[in-house]
Amino acid sequence: MPTGEGCHRRNVFSDLVEIRFYVDPATGEPHLHRHGVREEEAEEVLGNPVEDRPGVEGGRVAIGRTTAGRVLRVIYVQDPDDDGLFVVTSYEVTGKPLAAFRRRRRRRK
């Protein structure tokens, strides 16, 4: 998991889990800002995901709702050395992927 430069650190889950965010070297800001997502929104989804499944190359994909009602997909990896998480990116789920997410939710109920 990346450390130091290129990371933005935040604590969440009552200080039990450290979450770090990939920082875009071109802007100096967390990459998820390019998708209109704030760190707090990604933390909300990670704290209470509706879905959390394996992604590619050891990553994970969490999908969930923010308190504002947005459905976000958060791409992250778990730190193998501790309980921390490194968020690569996050973006709002729209269109056909959002419709598929809603269908999956209805089937579970």
CATH class of the 7-108 domain in this structure: alpha beta
- The values of phi and psi at residue 50, to 5°, are -80, -40
Q: Does the pLDDT at position 106 exceed 50?
A: yes
Least confident of 37-41, 71-75, 104-108: 104-108
pLDDT of 88 above 90: yes
List, for residues 17-28, the tens digit of each pLDDT value: 888 899 999 999
State pTM to two decimals: 0.83
**Pairwise CA distance, residues 64 & 42, whole Å:** 9
Instruction: Name the residue ranges covered by the structural domains of the chain.
Output: 7-108
Residue 19's φ and ψ, nearest 5 degrees, are -115, 130
pLDDT, tens only, 25-44 = 999 999 999 999 999 999 99
| Residue among 101, 84, 83 at smallest CA distance from 92 | 101
